[in-house]
Structure 1
Amino acid sequence: MSTHSPSESESAEGKNLIPSLPDDVALNCLARIPRWQHPTLSLVSKPIRTVLSSSLLFTTRSLLQCTQPLLYLTLRSRDSSLQWFTLHRTNPNPLLAPLPPIPSPAVGSAYAVLGPTIFVLGGSINDLPSPHVWLLDCRFHRWIPGPSMRVAREFAAAGVLAGKIYVLGGCIADTWARSANWAEVLDPAVGRWERVPSPAEVREKWMHASAVVGDRVYAMADRGGISFEPRSGAWESVGGDLDHGWRGRACVVEGILYCYDYLGKIKGFDVGRGVWEELKGLDKGLPRFLCGATMADLGGKLCVVWECQGNGKEMEIWYAEIGVKKNSDGELWGQLGWLGKLLSLPKGSSIVHCSSVAV
């Protein structure tokens, strides 16, 4: 794929991106156009189509601070195949666009987002844990094989801190190699996984949830949660309040960790204060999330995607955007934005994961 500037790639044909405008000015104009309009924009001319498929456009979008947070949604169909979509927040209705399938679909993969890339880590293939890593380049929606982990994993925890990807657990620490490499770190600039020393008492096998809050990676295991601070190398057990209150797949917005409780209500945990609070203001707008919901930080808004009963043969995937803040009394308060159904799927399908990526 060409990464040349428009003037380099099109000078031989003598065509400008936009007639009567210098190419650098035209590029600045094109970079401000929302991502969901790019397929239509590519039909305008060959020079524009060329620049839309170059890294130069996305570099310019970043420099102009024109990147947009997009939601990437992974669903598992009834036949166990994985389907990937990206959600464009268009008015009046969002646009859910299908993406190329991952080359080697697995069960129980961990996910991490770094820059414009989603890292899909491990998972089991034919009931065998895998060390393989796949990267989805969200600029071009292209799958790229990444550096394999030192240990095969399924249902691991993952998080990104200071430009590095940390993966914890997802393996039985029954050999020296699995014990020594129970935690690993990837510096994408180096392109190689390295072991992270971990004490034996934290080496649970399966991790059911993870998040990064402040300077720590938090991971919830079958029996108790742990946190890891890469700067000091310190491992700690999480407090009882966080351990008992963290249910389901969580996300962090403005330093507050959100999930839902056993009554299906959204709540937030302030790590600094060590307390859970109910997210108020949403009683009449949302159902109770008793199961099947996942969350993401979508440009500072709390995004929730969940499963609903459809007709006899179908289930529905619904989506909501919630503005979250603390009111004058210091209470967590939510303001419901867009709410609606995204699509219908055959019964037996499920939500696997959602990620927010700025491109």
Structure 2
Amino acid sequence: MSEATSSSISPPSSSNSILIPNLPDDIAIQIIARTPRFYHLNLSLVCKSWRSILRSPLFFTIRSQLDCTQVFLYINVRIHNSSFKWFVLDCNLTNPKTLSPIPSIPIQAIGSAFVVLGSKIYVIGGSINDVPSSNVWVFDSRFNSWEVGQKMRVGREFAAAGVINGKIYVLGGCLVDNWTRSTNWAEVFDPKIGTWAPVPSPVEIREKWMHGSAVIDKKMYAMADRGGVAFDPEDSSWGYVSTELDLGWRGRATVVDEILYCYDYLGKIRGFDAKEFVWRELKGLDSSLPTFLCGATMANVGGKLYVVWEGRGGGNQIEVLCAEIEVRKDCFGDLWGSVVWSQVILVIPGGSSIIQCLAIEF
């Protein structure tokens, strides 16, 4: 254990706490913190002091300092076009992998935007009874619970959202038919002060609907009804996405090693290199995945490309399948993928669909 790590860790607040007999509590916490997340529920049953420390911010800070964090994939599905359910996939377990249910948002809107900031998922806006909402729900993966977040300045549905330098940016998803919505067409949330603030934007780029968004090299790209917009918060500059990106971006996407991956209508996973302004097919997958991936969505899980899609189940059911793909760029600039594993992780009723998947490391 390094001196820096030991000096930054304090024992539990209770002076009477004894986590492990004959060991100082600051050493005991580090031992417990090294235990994989999968076993934390069992650890919480040992005694009250263990249960208390497992739910403390200090515990997760220590895990991060000790480089003991793990990656999890959270999946949101819509059941029968009515209710929404959330599940988590422990990506650290060996096969077979299965989803576990987690608490759902009391009221989840349609057309929300999703981002991950640290150990939290932010579900932003959406439509409730056909009215764009300014609500924000926050899921803290450390404690497996939802809380009400700070509302935006205007209601939005189908907005673009991304995280840059620890702040959440949202673009569009609202009509610009009055001064308030025009001024707040773009907003930024700073979690340190807990408030939303308007981001000045030129009139000509204020589209309503945003169909996809991603952050590449600390710049935000959002696809709109007509083309798309690009925003660089470092110098507050706005522009349009390149023609090449516009023509190739289809559906939900994710970024791995500064390459934007998406699934196109021809049944191919493709990657866009923003530095070279070129799309390339992800090679090496022809015999590893089905020809067509219905409802495919993607996430960067610890530097691996995870793809989640819908398949046919027995009777009136839908199988949710997932594949982990190692991706790399060769010396010629070509993109190659190798499927590590692929399997059914969930079965849902017919008429249901995958809404989003997001990765969190904690």
Deviations 1:177-198 (Å, cap 9, x if unpaired)?
1111100011111111111111
Instruction: Give the secondary-structure state (helix, strand or coil) at the position aligned to 2:283.
Output: coil
**d(CA) in 1 for partners of 2:133, 2:170:** 13
**d(CA) in 2 for partners of 1:358, 1:185:** 23
**d(CA) in 1 for partners of 2:328, 2:90:** 24
**d(CA) in 2 for partners of 1:274, 1:289:** 26
Among candidates 125, 128, 143, match of residue 125 of structure 1: 128
**d(CA) in 2 for partners of 1:287, 1:202:** 38
**d(CA) in 2 for partners of 1:312, 1:229:** 49
Deviations 1:233-278 (Å, cap 9, x if unpaired)?
1111111110010001000001000001221111100000000011
TM (normalized to structure 2)? 0.94
Instruction: Give the secondary-structure state (helix, strand or coil) at the position aligned to 1:217.
Output: strand
Among candidates 149, 154, 166, match of residue 146 of structure 1: 149
Among candidates 287, 290, 302, match of residue 290 of structure 2: 287
Q: Is the 8 A contact 1:289 1:306 kept in 2?
A: no
**d(CA) in 2 for partners of 1:46, 1:215:** 43
Q: Is the 8 A contact 1:260 1:289 kept in 2?
A: no
**d(CA) in 1 for partners of 2:288, 2:43:** 36
For residue 217 of structure 1, what is the aligned residue in structure 2? 220
Q: CA deviation at 1:158?
A: 0.2
Q: CA deviation at 1:53?
A: 1.4
Which residues of 2 match residues 67-106 of structure 1 at below 5 A?
Answer: 67-89=69-91, 90-106=93-109
For residue 44 of structure 2, what is the aligned residue in structure 1? 42
For residue 302 of structure 1, what is the aligned residue in structure 2? 305
Instruction: Give the secondary-structure state (helix, strand or coil) at the position aligned to 1:178.
Output: helix
Among candidates 273, 287, 291, match of residue 276 of structure 2: 273
Which sections of structure 2, spanning at least 5 residues, go unmatched? 1-8
Among candidates 173, 182, 185, match of residue 176 of structure 2: 173
Q: Is the 8 A contact 1:262 1:290 kept in 2?
A: no
Q: CA deviation at 1:171?
A: 0.5
Q: Is the 8 A contact 1:5 1:51 kept in 2?
A: no
Query: Displaced runs of 4+ in structure 1, greater than 3 A?
Result: 4-7, 288-291
Structure 1 window deviating more from structure 2 (143-152 vs 327-336): it is 327-336
**d(CA) in 2 for partners of 1:260, 1:101:** 28
**Which one-letter code corresponds to 2:107 in the other structure?**
S
**d(CA) in 1 for partners of 2:44, 2:358:** 26
For residue 58 of structure 1, what is the aligned residue in structure 2? 60
**Which one-letter code corresponds to 2:142 in the other structure?**
R
Q: Is the 8 A contact 1:281 1:333 kept in 2?
A: yes
**d(CA) in 1 for partners of 2:21, 2:108:** 45
Q: Is the 8 A contact 2:293 2:310 kept in 1?
A: no
Deviations 1:277-334 (Å, cap 9, x if unpaired)?
1111111111234540100110100011111111221001000111111234331111
What is the total number of aligned residue pairs between the two structures? 353
**d(CA) in 2 for partners of 1:246, 1:227:** 14
**d(CA) in 2 for partners of 1:188, 1:282:** 40
TM (normalized to structure 1)? 0.95
**d(CA) in 2 for partners of 1:290, 1:69:** 24
**How many percent identity over aligned positions?**
57
Instruction: Give the secondary-structure state (helix, strand or coil) at the position aligned to 2:201.
Output: coil
**d(CA) in 1 for partners of 2:70, 2:243:** 37
For residue 163 of structure 1, what is the aligned residue in structure 2? 166
